[in-house]
Structure 1
Amino acid sequence: MTTIPLSDETAATALGLRVEEIDESMRDRYARGIWSCLTEPGDGVAGALIAAFGAREALTIVDIDDPLAGAAAGVDAKTLAQARSRWRPRRGDVRRAFDAARRCGAQLITPADAAWPQRVDDLGIHAPVCLWVRGDASLLPAHGGAVAIVGSRAASSYGEHVAMELAADLAGSGVMIVSGAAYGIDGAAHRATLTAGGTTLAVLAGGIDRPYPAGHTDLLSRVVRSGVVVAEVPCGTAPTKWRFLSRNRLIAAMSDATVVVEAGWRSGSLNTAHHAADLSRPMGAVPGPVTSASSMGCHRLLRETEAHCITRADDVRELMGLDARIGAVDAGARTDERTRVRDALSTRGGRTTDDIARRSGLSPSETGAVLALLELSGEVERRGEAWRRRPAS
């Protein structure tokens, strides 16, 4: 049985370093790169093992048959055995992936790097173990805020126009535009951002050395030059249907808010919106003509979820908690308990004190005290046991 190569010599070769440059951080980087080759995005078993043992130590569990090896990570013997059967056939992919990464100039970013986008850590054990990056990795934290603009591939002229207007306005105020580089709404958002001189992030379902769709090869090259392209799968990986669905969770996680511009009833962009909701991130949808099949998914979000109605860029800035007039964080606002409670409230539906406490990270007693103050100032209202934020006048 071929084992996973973990020697410093192998790590140095893979990372393009000298052996004397390999330290503990480089060993962890190499191990995480290997994990990305062995697993599919969001593999919770791998995530649990890495969280419990560290990336390098967890790799040794792949090559042993001890059924109790995963017990400390809460992984039972049957689940671990099934995971090993998925991972072991991919051992031979590791060298090819690192070779392909060197050829295309990819960077390997891990949670230990300053460039790591900490937003993705909210995915827990389903967070990416590393990111393969082309472009300016320092842009990934998106200190000016990031919004996902997604929608139908078969977009109408109306949808593309709205996507471009939103993206250009937001990008001009320093907000990073995140999307998936697909035809239609995604492409319109990326192009408008580049034209406006803003920063855009393209999240791919396949390897970053394989531009997809092929028709967007030039567009992705432009993104690399002034923005950043990322994938959690290694170089050489083909985009597949399930990887697009996994990619959608990453788009939502890397953004402070998600806006669906145009979507059919079963559009994949609805999947991105639901991931945003699962992460307690705000989401919005752009309404379209009631007769348009291309907007049925947006209307469904507005009717069945807490999606906000988006008609202009100021609506998105409000969704993100940015000042609608200047597109920046309100200098007079303090990131204190009031801010946290406000962000945990909705203008559409009521939430209990316990729910607001869970969302804000405060205790129920602290949350109750802040809600009382916000009620006195007229910012919130109570209906029975539920609280809601008053819409801005």
Structure 2
Amino acid sequence: MTAAEDPYGERLCRAFLTRVLEPGDETGGRWMREHGVPEVARRLREGGEPLPGVSGTRWAGLRARAGRAEPERDLDVARAAGVRFVCPGDTEWPAQLDDLGDARPLGLWVRGRPSLRMWALRSVAVVGARACTEYGAHTAAALSAGLAERGWVVVSGGAYGIDGAAHRGALGAGGATVAVLACGVDRPYPRGHTQLITRIADQGLVIGELPPGDHPTPSRFILRNRVIAALTRGTVVVEAAYRSGSLVTARAAQRLGRFTMGVPGPVTSALSAGVHELLREEGVLVTDAADVVELVGDIGELAPARRGPVLPRDLLEADARRVLAALPAHRPAPPGEIACGAQTTQDEAIARLYELRALGYVERHGDGWKLTRQAVIPVGDGRTRC
């Protein structure tokens, strides 16, 4: 990065701080808000009196990290790997990340050609359990494919299970997807997803807060989830146990005022228990991409009306349906009994019976009338009473 490109050194300072501060460090975020990024970087490099809000021990740890940081080298390594460092204030910076306040990322290391800001404008997070069921994987893939076909970007964490199924579903539909990693974007994790993450980088975007070569830790996975929640218009949880990290993403979305959605599963499955708890609290139940888009999309992007199949008898006039319902299921009945059950006159009942006969619902047996096999629907004890 040349002086002309970064006259005040802030980009270099932010790259430096990604080596020193952990993602989501609100104390560090407050320092930068109150003192400015260059001053915080200078104090950490040069030492002196600790900045407020940390113990002497922690300040010493931060200073030790600062001594090992080589931001110029990180930027060179990133550039060689086709990775760019996007900072707040850049044209490509997604403004919705500013909703995180002091926990906002220092910057994002971005691998892939598309504009992160443009893709984030119309994006949905699909997250869930790593050790998912076949049902969960199928649902996540189908939902993500449906979102991609409707022009939405699918964002997830690149992990095994639901994350991987979501990415594959979007890619399989020829759509757009973004993987948010908890490590350096030049070293795919998990290693078993190297091919998938490479494909995402080729066709979409791989992003993260950590500098090149940095490794994931359990806490970094949890902190990564706030970026997924803030970046997108809403978060869908497909499968999650009570202690699932994907529920952290959903609750972060709730705090940020984003839509929070859950796909229900079997009540006997522990992997759906967390989703069901989310739905009991404030989440919205969704079953497919149309439901999601109706919630997060623009006015008029409505899901189709859901109803069961229309049966031929549903098309009958009301009087004919009452006569049909008055016939016993398994024996012929005289017109008077049928008229009584249908609450009409005998003449009206006979007229309707002949209509129903023409449609194949009833047949005449001597002086009585009986349902045909196609018209029999078991209800109650099959008898008609006045």
Aligned to 1:306: 282
Identity over the aligned pairs, expressed in percent? 45
1:201-216 to 2 correspondence within 5 Å? 201-216=178-193
Change in 2 beyond 3 A, CA 1:162/1:23:
closer
The one-letter code matched in structure 2 to 1:293 is: A
Judge conservation of contact 1:149–1:189 (CA < 8 Å) in 2: yes
Aligned to 1:169: 146
**C-alpha displacement at 1:226, in angstroms?**
1.5
**C-alpha displacement at 1:214, in angstroms?**
0.7
The one-letter code matched in structure 1 to 2:240 is: A
The one-letter code matched in structure 2 to 1:178 is: V
Change in 2 beyond 3 A, CA 1:88/1:64:
closer
Aligned to 1:184: 161
**What CA RMSD, in Å, does the superposition of the two structures yield over aligned residues?**
1.9
Judge conservation of contact 1:100–1:209 (CA < 8 Å) in 2: no
Change in 2 beyond 3 A, CA 1:93/1:223:
same
User: What do residues 343-372 of structure 1 show as CA deviations (whole Å, max 9, x unaligned)?
Assistant: xxxxxxxxxxxxxxxxxxxxxxxxxxxxxx
Indicate yes or no: 2:29 matched with 1:29: no
* Correspondent of 2:25 among 18, 22, 43: 43
CA distance in 2, matches of 1:97, 1:83: 24
Judge conservation of contact 2:294–2:301 (CA < 8 Å) in 1: no
> How many corresponding residue pairs?
300
Judge conservation of contact 1:116–1:141 (CA < 8 Å) in 2: no
Judge conservation of contact 1:134–1:230 (CA < 8 Å) in 2: yes
Indicate yes or no: 2:48 matched with 1:65: yes
Judge conservation of contact 1:257–1:320 (CA < 8 Å) in 2: yes
* Correspondent of 1:246 among 223, 234, 250: 223
TM-score, normalising length: structure 1: 0.72
User: What do residues 94-142 of structure 1 show as CA deviations (whole Å, max 9, x unaligned)?
Assistant: 2553343234221000012111111111000010011111002513342
CA distance in 2, matches of 1:294, 1:287: 10
* Higher Cα radius of gyration: 2
Judge conservation of contact 2:82–2:112 (CA < 8 Å) in 1: no
CA distance in 2, matches of 1:291, 1:66: 57
Change in 2 beyond 3 A, CA 1:319/1:85:
farther
**C-alpha displacement at 1:169, in angstroms?**
0.9
Indicate yes or no: 2:295 matched with 1:319: yes
CA distance in 1, matches of 2:100, 2:255: 9
Q: Which moved more, 1:220-229 or 1:317-326?
A: 317-326
SS at match of 1:142: helix
Aligned to 1:286: 263
Q: Which runs of 5+ in 2 are unaligned?
A: 304-386
SS at match of 1:224: helix
CA distance in 1, matches of 2:215, 2:228: 18
**C-alpha displacement at 1:143, in angstroms?**
5.8
